[in-house]
């Protein structure tokens, strides 16, 4: 635990260095890199130790802190999330320095670096806190730091709007958390998680209120449909490395909270499992359908975060159902898959956001349809982005496949058991639909942005990103490939998390002896080497009897094909968007010589904004009340006091 | 004489549900009618395959059912399309994919309901879920198809479902099915007469959404 | 990997290119023509391998990688199937996910290679390919789910191996529905009539063939062989459902596999000669129909 504390202090010190040494830019950046990098490395150690099953004692601070004892601890669940935080946090912090360098004359860039460090530190505290007070404080610090980073480019109205939306969502989430802990803490001895766990069996209705509130509070943070409305806006507005950090780890705190609550409640009721499973299916399918319709690369990636949160929730739902119906294998595999997918998604989604950042940095546009043929100009970024795309789609042999495989196994395992949980096997169809649609979407992004020919002058002087921006991306791609080729590296740790959540070591599925993951490792390793060998052989002189010739792309009879005749992202996605038109939320505008599609968010446009304007309309009635003079304000106060007194008197008489 | 095809009943029932789904999935009126005809034929096989012994009554019922449901009605529908020059494409209010998924949901619902009914084991327990499925899918067709002709098809499917249900009652209520088949003929002629001649002549359209214009 | 496994795999790899030939021949015979020889694809492959490749100036390494990854992933997927009727050379719990994932990997590589040319025709083909496979993949998983429920085993070796015979004895209806659904998927995933027409050369009507317009020589050979192998893989799934052969000796089981594949080829040919290609907008509904068959099978099993 002391390593974690030291790591958090180092990261904070790095932020402080960036803030205070802002005059001497090079020194400030060097200190920031050194301290944050060192802090992240230091934090990875205990996280890995927790994941390989070492027991770490909790730290208790009893004196001098408000709200009862503050406890900090590190178990396998926290370890998995901490590892994701320090990996992604480090990569994003390093990437941010060259990424924001161009903004330095106009804005307070050093403040943004400091905020990134603060955010990473707050995240580390969130996952290690074992008492309500430090958890909520870190949660709020995280929320505020994210807000300040989102409104980094605050002179743009769209950014301010996104920031406001985020602020509303995150505070609604905090409010629900207050309610949750208030209800739960009423029964408990003090506000440590251990005390809450101890009193969990006494909660009314099996903790129904707590579970429902957890779903709202953490669902708002994670971006579960229909609570996701803030997510695409905020991700599109923030600088790319902040989007990467937010999509990679900040929204995952919602998942962490949800899983932590389940762990503390021991056995959730069956309805909650079914509800989470259904929400997962809905978020997954709708997220990817909305992503398909987007032209803005960052909004597209943001909707994919909604989709992946859906996949993770399917795992959590399967795990909860396994607990409720007493099917331990299903539970372990479901929670293990959900946790591993959280970590994997942190890795490849931050990779993709950073890659998108490099594209924006090089071309100055986020509109996919104006890009094209960037693969030859930015080879490293393109290759890493390709790996990230294949990983997020869940293709073997990459890391996304490993975690989806665990979730699939959990669902298929439910089909073998005899109780009502068997119906969960149908979710495999939904998971497959999500995967296939994600493939379509990333084929679109890869194809339209990096392959083919450039579409207009925007990309004329596109260039590979500076080294400080490419290596974090390449490093993340390397981690994705390593996990994918060697699942046995991570699956035991994931299963350990699953066992922790299912409570008790009496599992049919021993951690080291999961034969399937060993077999999968042998298989993926041989497939990887086989594919690599085949590729090398095929492209070597041995593989070809004649030298290949080069020529123009065949124009199919067109005398002069132009780059504008290429399929655009809209045309590529059109058949699928048409098939899902009732939920896709695409508006088309036609005029005599132009055709335009606008991809919105049906929940935001169709529900949240109308509701918001209705609330505003009602609130306007009360507007005159607020605009009074001092004397009128005093009258309100006196009136309020009188009302309370009358109520007290009446209540006293009634009692 | 014990009946000749003891294991045919489950297969026939399976095929009946497949014809239900075919009606939902197709966008062509002719395929719809063909599926309905096949369904009629399959329904005709059932009285024979389900009866404990091969009786004159069962054979007669089978022949009557096939004649009405597999020959006369489909022929009548085809004739109606030709006479009224109806467009060959169905214009449903929901797409074929949604229809099919709704159909799958209907089948699941039917089986779930049937599993909760206190049915005696035997042919009844076998028939009831399929009959419910056909009834519900008939309702789906009735409510999601705009044209009057496709609504007739939906109505006939509904009736086929009731016929299936009636099969479980042949022992207890004699001539129930025969009445049902007669009703078929009557209703078929009646509806077709109204649909083809009346609506077409008065409104130059077979689109039943226009029927709401009759309100005043 | 035992000798029986290696033999069965080798036989599959060798007979695969005959499968499209059988389908085309059946179609020709039924429509009163003589048709191309059954072994036509072998001649074509031989001819293409001897030729040189032509690459477009817009293409990158992605284009050259596509065919290799396509074929490699299909061969890797073949390792997961219990071709000898008992178990697979590389089977494990949940390997069906890897099977579907590898098919998706091959598709991803092919689609990206097509987009790499920057041609609108390849773009069109790529768009259609990903669209229709988006409907086919859930259907495939519903088939797998039904097989898991019927056999109580979550690996391909179990689902298509020894427990199949038992499954037929208590869930014949579901098994036949799954087989039927798999056949629809075979037609869809391999671009056969009524989804696509491999015999026409009008790019606008085609899905799969149009992605590979710019591939030539040995690269095209890899892709054509890969398509045949994919057809054979789906054929092997169907044979595994309909012809349980765990009781047979290994050579006999492999013989039955070849026979079954030939029957599948004939069935494809029959379908192609009695049906017309449906409109592109109707293809998703057709595939959903296949999925609903599997769903019906699942409902019968969950009862």
Strands (E), C21-164: 54-56
Contact status, residue A449 vs residue A356, Cβ threshold 8 Å: no
Residue A269 exposure: Cα atoms within 13 Å on the Cβ side: 15
User: What pLDDT is attached to residue A161?
Assistant: 92
What are the angstrom distances between the C-alpha of C94 and each of A326, A508, C158?
21, 17, 10
Residue with the bigger pLDDT between A68 and B112: it is: B112
Distance (Å) from the alpha carbon of A600 to chain C's nearest alpha carbon = 21
Contact status, residue A395 vs residue A527, Cβ threshold 8 Å: no
> In the numeric block, which tokens belong to residue B2?
């014990």
- What mean pLDDT is reported for chain B? 78
User: What pLDDT is attached to residue A299?
Assistant: 94
Mean pLDDT calculated for residue range C292-296: 94
User: What pLDDT is attached to residue A224?
Assistant: 94
What residues of C are in contact with residue A520 (Cβ under 8 Å)? 92, 94-95, 98
Mean pLDDT calculated for residue range C102-124: 92
For B125-142, the pLDDT digits (tens) are 778 899 999 999 998 888
Nearest-by-Cβ selection for A395 from C104, C119, C217:
C104
Please give the backbone phi and psi of residue B92, each rounded to the nearest 5 degrees, phi first.
Answer: -75, 160
Using DSSP's 3-state secondary structure scheme, residue B28 falls into strand
Q: What whole-number distance in Å separates Cα of residue C260 and Cα of residue C225? A: 20
Chains B, C: CB contacts under 8 A, how many? 47
Distance (Å) from the alpha carbon of C295 to chain B's nearest alpha carbon = 7
- What mean pLDDT is reported for chain C? 91
User: What pLDDT is attached to residue A599?
Assistant: 83
The domain ranges of chain C are 3-302
Number of other residues whose CB lies within 10 A of the CB of residue A643: 10
Asked if B95 has any chain C CB less than 8 Å from its own CB, the reply is yes
Within its chain, how far is the Cα of C221 from the centroid? 17
Number of other residues whose CB lies within 10 A of the CB of residue A62: 10
Which residue positions in chain A have pLDDT lower than 70?
504-513, 542-546, 557-559, 627-628, 655
Does the pLDDT value for residue B173 go beyond 70? no
Residues shown for chain B: 216
Does the pLDDT value for residue B188 go beyond 70? no
User: What pLDDT is attached to residue B186?
Assistant: 66
Does the pLDDT value for residue B201 go beyond 50? no
Q: What whole-number distance in Å separates Cα of residue A574 and Cα of residue A563? A: 19
Does the pLDDT value for residue C55 go beyond 60? yes
Does the pLDDT value for residue C90 go beyond 70? yes
Asked if C166 has any chain B CB less than 8 Å from its own CB, the reply is no
Residue with the bigger pLDDT between B32 and A313: it is: A313
Asked if C282 has any chain B CB less than 8 Å from its own CB, the reply is yes
The domain ranges of chain B are 8-215
Q: What percent of chain A shows pLDDT beyond 90? A: 56
Q: Which of C168, C179, C188, C296 has the highest number of chain B CBs within 10 A, making it the mutation to test binding with B?
A: C296
pLDDT band at B6 (very low <50, low <70, confident <90, very high): low
> In the numeric block, which tokens belong to residue A542?
């041995």
Residues 6+ apart with CB under 8 A from A547: C52
Give bridge partners of residue A60 from the DSSP assignment: A71
Mean pLDDT calculated for residue range B110-134: 83
Distance (Å) from the alpha carbon of C167 to chain B's nearest alpha carbon = 16
Q: What whole-number distance in Å separates Cα of residue A347 and Cα of residue A351? A: 6
Write down the residue that tokens 């007194």 correspond to.
A645
Q: Which range scores top for mean pLDDT: B42-46, B63-67, C226-230, C278-282?
A: C226-230
Does the pLDDT value for residue C204 go beyond 90? no
For B61-72, the pLDDT digits (tens) are 888 888 888 888
Contact status, residue C290 vs residue C185, Cβ threshold 8 Å: yes
Does the pLDDT value for residue B25 go beyond 50? yes
- Which 87-146 residues of chain C touch chain A by CB within 8 A? 90-98, 100-102, 104-105, 107-108, 111-112, 115-121, 123-124, 126-128, 130-131, 133-142, 144-145
Strands A549-551 and C54-56: parallel
Q: What whole-number distance in Å separates Cα of residue A482 and Cα of residue A495? A: 18
- C-alpha gyration radius of chain A: 26
- ipTM, two decimals, is 0.96
Does the pLDDT value for residue B79 go beyond 50? yes
The domain ranges of chain A are 267-504+516-535+566-584, 603-654
Within its chain, how far is the Cα of A204 from the centroid? 32
What residues of B are in contact with residue C300 (Cβ under 8 Å)? 111
- The CA angle C117-C121-C123, to the nearest 5 degrees, is 65
Contact status, residue A50 vs residue A8, Cβ threshold 8 Å: no
């Amino acid at each position: 635990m002391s390593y974690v504390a030291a790591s958090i202090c180092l990261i904070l010190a790095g932020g402080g260095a960036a803030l205070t040494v802002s005059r001497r830019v090079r020194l400030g950046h060097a200190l920031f890199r050194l301290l944050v990098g060192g802090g992240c490395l230091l934090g990875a150690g205990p996280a890995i130790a927790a994941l390989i099953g070492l027991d770490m004692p909790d730290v208790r601070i009893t004196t001098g802190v408000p709200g009862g004892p503050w406890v900090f601890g590190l178990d396998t669940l926290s370890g998995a999330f901490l590892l994701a935080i320090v990996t992604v946090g480090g990569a994003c912090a390093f990437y941010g320095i060259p990424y924001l360098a161009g903004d330095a004359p106009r804005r307070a860039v050093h403040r943004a670096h400091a905020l990134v460090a603060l955010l990473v530190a707050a995240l580390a505290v969130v996952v290690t806190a074992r008492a309500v007070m430090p958890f909520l404080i870190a949660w709020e610090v995280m929320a505020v730091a994210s807000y300040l980073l989102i409104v980094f480019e605050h002179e743009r109205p769209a950014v301010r709007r996104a920031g406001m939306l985020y602020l509303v969502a995150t505070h609604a989430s905090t409010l629900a958390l207050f309610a949750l802990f208030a209800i739960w803490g009423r029964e408990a001895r003090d506000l440590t998680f251990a005390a809450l766990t101890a009193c969990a069996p006494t909660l009314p209705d099996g903790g129904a209120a707590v579970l429902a509130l957890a779903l709202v509070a953490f669902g708002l943070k994670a971006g579960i449909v229909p609570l996701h409305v803030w997510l695409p806006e905020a991700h599109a507005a923030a600088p790319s490395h902040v989007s990467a950090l937010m999509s990679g780890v900040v929204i995952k705190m919602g998942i962490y909270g949800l899983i932590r609550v389940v762990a503390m409640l021991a056995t959730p009721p069956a309805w909650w499992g079914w509800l989470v499973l259904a929400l997962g299916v809905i978020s997954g399918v709708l997220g990817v359908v909305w992503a398909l319709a987007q032209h803005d690369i960052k909004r597209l990636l943001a909707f994919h975060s909604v989709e992946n949160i859906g996949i993770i929730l399917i795992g959590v739902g399967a795990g909860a159902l396994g607990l409720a119906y007493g099917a331990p294998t299903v539970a372990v595999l479901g929670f293990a898959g959900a946790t591993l997918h959280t970590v994997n998604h942190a890795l490849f989604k931050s990779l993709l956001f950073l890659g998108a950042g490099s594209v924006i940095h090089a071309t100055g546009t986020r509109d996919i349809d104006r890009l094209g043929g960037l693969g030859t100009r930015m080879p490293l970024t393109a290759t890493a982005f390709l790996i990230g795309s294949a990983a997020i789609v869940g293709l073997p042999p990459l890391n996304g496949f490993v975690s989806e495989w665990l979730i699939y196994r959990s669902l298929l395992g439910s089909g073998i058991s005899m109780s009502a949980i068997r119906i969960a096997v149908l979710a495999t169809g939904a998971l497959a639909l999500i995967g296939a649609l994600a493939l379509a979407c990333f084929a679109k992004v890869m194809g339209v942005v990096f392959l083919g020919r450039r579409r207009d002058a925007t990309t004329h002087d596109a260039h590979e990103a500076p080294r400080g921006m490419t290596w974090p991306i390449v490093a993340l791609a390397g981690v994705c490939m390593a996990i994918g080729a060697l699942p046995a590296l991570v699956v035991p740790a994931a299963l350990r998390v699953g066992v922790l959540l299912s409570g008790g070591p009496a599992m049919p599925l021993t951690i080291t002896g999961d034969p399937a993951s060993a077999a999968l490792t042998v298989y993926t390793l041989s497939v990887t080497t086989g594919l690599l060998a085949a590729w090398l052989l095929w492209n070597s002189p041995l593989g070809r009897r004649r030298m290949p010739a080069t020529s123009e792309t065949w124009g199919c009879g067109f005398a002069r094909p132009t780059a504008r005749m290429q399929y655009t992202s809209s045309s590529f996605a059109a058949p699928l968007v048409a098939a899902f038109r009732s939920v896709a939320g695409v508006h088309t505008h036609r005029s005599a010589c132009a055709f335009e599609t606008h991809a919105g968010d049906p929940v935001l446009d169709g529900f949240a904004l109308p509701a918001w304007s209705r609330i505003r309309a009602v609130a306007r009635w009360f507007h005159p009340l607020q605009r009074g003079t001092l004397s009128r304000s005093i009258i309100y106060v006196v009136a309020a006091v009188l009302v309370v007194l009358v109520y007290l008197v009446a209540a006293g008489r009634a009692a | 004489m014990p009946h000749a095809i003891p294991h045919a009943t489950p297969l026939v029932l399976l095929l009946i549900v497949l014809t239900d789904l075919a009606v939902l999935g197709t966008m062509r009126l002719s395929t719809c009618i063909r599926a309905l005809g096949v369904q009629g034929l399959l329904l005709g096989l059932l009285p024979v395959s389900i009866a404990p012994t091969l009786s004159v009554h069962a054979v007669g019922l089978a022949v009557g059912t096939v004649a009405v449901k597999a020959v006369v009605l489909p022929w009548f529908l085809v004739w109606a399309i030709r006479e009224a020059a109806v467009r060959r494409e169905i214009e449903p209010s929901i797409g074929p994919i949604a229809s099919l998924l709704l159909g799958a949901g209907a089948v699941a619902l039917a089986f779930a309901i049937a599993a909760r009914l206190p049915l005696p084991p035997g042919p009844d327990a076998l028939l009831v879920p399929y009959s419910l499925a056909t009834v519900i899918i008939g309702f789906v067709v009735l409510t999601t198809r705009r044209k009057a002709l496709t609504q007739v098809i939906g109505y006939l499917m509904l009736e086929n479902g009731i016929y299936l249900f009636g099969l479980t009652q042949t022992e207890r209520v004699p001539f129930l099915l025969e009445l049902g088949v007669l009703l078929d003929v009557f209703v078929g002629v009646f509806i077709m007469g109204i649909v083809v001649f009346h609506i077409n002549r008065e409104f130059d359209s077979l689109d039943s959404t226009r029927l709401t214009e009759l309100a005043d | 990997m035992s000798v029986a496994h290696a033999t069965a795999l080798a036989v599959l790899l060798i007979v695969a290119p005959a499968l499209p030939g059988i389908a085309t021949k059946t179609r020709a015979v039924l429509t009163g023509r003589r048709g191309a020889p059954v072994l036509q694809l072998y001649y074509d492959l031989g001819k293409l391998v001897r030729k040189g490749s032509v690459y477009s100036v817009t293409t990158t390494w992605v284009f050259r990688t596509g065919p290799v990854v396509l074929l490699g992933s299909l061969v890797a997927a073949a390792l997961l199937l219990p071709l000898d009727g008992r178990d697979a050379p590389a089977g494990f719990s949940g390997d069906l996910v890897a099977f579907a994932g590898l098919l998706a990997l091959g598709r991803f590589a092919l689609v990206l290679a097509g987009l790499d040319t920057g041609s609108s025709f390849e773009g069109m083909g790529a768009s259609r390919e990903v669209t229709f496979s988006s409907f086919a993949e859930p259907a495939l998983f519903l088939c797998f789910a039904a097989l898991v429920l019927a056999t109580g085993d979550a690996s391909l070796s179990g689902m298509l191996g020894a427990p199949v015979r038992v499954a037929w004895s208590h869930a014949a209806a579901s098994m036949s529905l799954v087989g039927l659904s798999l056949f629809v998927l075979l037609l869809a995933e391999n671009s056969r009539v009524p989804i696509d027409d491999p015999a026409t050369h009008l790019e606008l009507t085609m899905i799969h063939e149009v992605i590979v317009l710019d591939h030539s020589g040995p690269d095209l050979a890899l892709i054509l062989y890969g398509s045949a192998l994919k057809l054979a893989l789906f054929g092997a799934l169907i044979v595994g459902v309909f012809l349980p052969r765990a009781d047979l000796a290994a050579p006999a089981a492999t013989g039955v596999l070849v026979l079954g594949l030939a029957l599948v080829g004939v069935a494809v040919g029959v379908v192609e000669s009695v049906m017309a290609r449906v409109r592109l907008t109707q293809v998703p509904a057709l595939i959903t129909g296949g999925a609903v068959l599997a769903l019906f099978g699942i409902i019968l099993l969950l009862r």
